[in-house]
Amino acid sequence: MEPFGAEQGIYKDVDVLDPEPDTYKPTELPEREDELSRIHSALRPITLGGSPRNILVYGPTGQGKTVGVDLKTEQLQQWADSESDVSLTVLRVSCKGAGKSWNVLAALVKQAREARYGKTVEKPRGPTKVELFEMLSDDLQAIGGMIIIVLDEIDGIQEDDYVLYELPRASIDSVSIGVIGITNDYQFHENLDADIRSSLGSREVVFSPYDADQLRDILARRAARALRDTYFEDEIKDSEHLQSDVLSGDVIPLCAALAGQDTGDARQAIHLLSTACDLALDDGSDIVTESHVRKAREEIQEETIGKGIRGETIQRKIALLTALESELSGDAPEGTTQLYRRYKRFTKQIGADTYQQGTFREKLNDLAHGNILEGDRRGRGRGRGMTNMYSLSVDPDLVIDKVGDDNRLSQITERFE
């Protein structure tokens, strides 16, 4: 067994390559200057003695929404702290997995009370959501001044949007409240109630996906902090000026290109780079090469698919096989209707239940959510609405391999081998 601590190491600060914002948070986001300046202008009234505007931030996963809103509200907090006559409180709640408005309100009451009393308090239990809202109003009034409430991942609230409806309209004596809602869920964003949209989204800021060039710069800045003997020439912080004894020249461009061609997700790009560095370390190599990146990508894909289908119902696996077949026959991307035809054939072949098309579509969307499929919304032609086109976003061989482990499905996957 190898001893800990013996590694020479390519890292200077390993935490910087952890994409979780709790571990490392960048201090600047030059790629998001425009988006941040729109948030800035929506918050600016506070500095002029007015009320902040509500903001809805929307964009796919890993685009710097959470970290961007964090940086901007921290900057505002610093300004407020330096002004003797301004009182500003920022409350941040993640609605991920909340399911209901009740959970979000309970978390907000807890945070508001902590800000009010300056000590840790328990989450309230028992009150109804209307009572919770009254408690919250009472606490916010006691805190007073300007209050910014950041509701991250608001799609986690699902159908019960009471809090999204009430909060942006709350009018409480002697307090001005600004709500910043963040979501990466296109469907949720589109389906938002018109009233919520108009009150919460009075300013809408869209974070569109990074391209490979932007991802390169993002990775270069992370690498310069995380890895030893890696630095910027002439203090110019872009990928062209990165010098490194640890990374071979094609590593960052390759990580950026792979993540860029997927979804332009910075979290994914950083995860790929850090996995490649870990693999180099495992090899005892003091240089990270292109082959480490390729191996890292395979490992990550395997993990993603494994996670996506391990312990999953047979229905989800069959849905995945429809996309596989479509891919291998050169027909991808395909819409739900075409894939559903494949689905009916498969379920008949193995004697599984055949669900309605709507339920089948949900399975496809689940897979797209897990980045196993790519769902691309397209117009069906004038006045005929939008449809989702699906294609496989992982290696077909991996799908054959993993789904084929299920005895019930191996008779289908065998045909593809």
Ligand X SMILES: Nc1ncnc2c1ncn2[C@@H]1O[C@H](COP(=O)(O)OP(=O)(O)OP(=O)(O)O)[C@@H](O)[C@H]1O
Residues placed in the known binding site for ATP? 210, 222
Binding part of the chain for Mg ion, among 62-70, 199-207, 238-246, 408-416 by CB under 5 A, reads 62-70
Of residues 108, 205, 270, 373, which one binds ligand X by CB under 6 A?
270
Distance CA 183, CA 61 (A): 9
Is the bond preceding 19 in cis, omega lying within 30 degrees of 0? Answer: no
How is 219-267 classified by DSSP, letter by letter? HHHHHHHHBTTEEEGGG--SGGGEEESSB-TTHHHHHHHHHHHHT--HH
Q: In what helix (H) or strand (E) does residue 10 lie, and over which residues does it extend?
A: none
Q: Return the one option of ligand X, Mg ion, none that residue 21 interacts with (CB less than 5 to 8 A, by type).
A: ligand X
Binds 54, which of ligand X, Mg ion, none (CB < 5 to 8 A, cut-off by type)? none
Give 273's contacts (C-beta < 8 A, 6+ positions apart).
Answer: 17, 219, 222, 223, 251, 252, 255, 293
Question: Distance between CA 332 and CA 391 in Å, rounded?
Answer: 5
Q: With binding defined as CB under 6 A, does residue 388 bind ligand X? A: no
Among the candidate windows 19-27, 198-206, 295-303, 348-356, which touches ligand X by CB under 6 A? 19-27
Shortest distance (Å) from residue 85 CB to Mg ion: 33
Nearer to Mg ion among residue 90 and residue 399 (C-beta): 90
Which of Mg ion, ligand X, none interacts with 262 (beta carbon under 5 to 8 A by kind)? none
Query: In what order do the strands lie in the sheet containing 145-152?
Result: 88-94, 145-152, 175-183, 55-58, 203-206
Residue 270 binds which of ligand X, Mg ion, none (CB < 5-8 A, kind-dependent): ligand X
275 binds ligand X (CB under 6 A): no
- Tell me if 267 contacts ligand X by CB under 6 A: yes
Q: Which residue is nearest to ligand X (CB)?
A: 64
67 binds, among ligand X, Mg ion, none (CB under 5 to 8 A by kind): ligand X
Q: Which stretch binds ligand X (CB under 6 A): 57-65, 119-127, 189-197, 408-416?
A: 57-65
Q: What angle do CA 130, 179, 377 make, to 5 degrees?
A: 100
Q: Which residues pair with 150 in a beta bridge?
A: 92, 180
Query: What number of other Cβ atoms are within 10 A of residue 229's Cβ?
Result: 12
Residue 60 CB, shortest distance to ligand X, in Å, is 7
Which one, of 237, 233, 210, lies nearest residue 222 by Cα? Answer: 237
Structural tokens at position 281? 């370390």
Query: Does 257 contact ligand X by CB under 6 A?
Result: no
Residue 66 as a binder of Mg ion (CB under 5 A): the answer is: yes
Judged by CB under 6 A, does residue 184 bind ligand X? yes
DSSP character at residue 288: B
Q: Smallest distance, Å, CB 96 to ligand X? A: 8
Residues flagged as binding site: 210, 222
Order of strands, sheet of 373-379, starting from the edge strand that comes earlier in the sequence: 334-335, 386-392, 373-379
- 342 interacts with ligand X by CB under 6 A: no
Total chain residues near ligand X (CB under 6 A): 18
Q: Examine residue 268 and tell whether it contacts Mg ion (CB under 5 A).
A: no
User: Cβ closer to ligand X: 67 or 394?
Assistant: 67
Alpha-carbon span 277 to 296, nearest angstrom: 9
Note whether 63 binds ligand X by CB under 6 A. Answer: yes
Burial class (CB in 10 A: 0-12, 13-18, 19+), 8: exposed
Given the rule CB under 5 A, which of 6-14, 40-48, 59-67, 215-223 is the region that contacts Mg ion? 59-67
Report how far residue 97's alpha carbon sits from residue 107's, in angstroms, rounded to the nearest whole number.
12
Show the CA angle centred on residue 140, arms to residues 111 and 87, nearest 5°. Answer: 95
State which residue, 145 or 370, has the beta carbon closest to Mg ion: 370
Site membership for ligand X, residue 29 (CB under 6 A)? yes
Residue 26 as a binder of ligand X (CB under 6 A): the answer is: yes
Query: Rounded CA gap, 375 and 276, in Å?
Result: 27
> Is 64 an interacting residue with respect to ligand X (CB under 6 A)?
yes
Task: Decide if residue 183 touches Mg ion (CB under 5 A).
Answer: no
Size (the chain), residues? 417
From ligand X, Mg ion, none, interface partner of 197 (C-beta below 5 to 8 A by class): none
Q: Which stretch binds ligand X (CB under 6 A): 43-51, 128-136, 165-173, 263-271?
A: 263-271
What is the contact surface with Mg ion in residues (CB under 5 A)?
66
What is the contact surface with ligand X in residues (CB under 6 A)?
19, 21, 26, 29, 31-32, 61-67, 184, 218, 266-267, 270
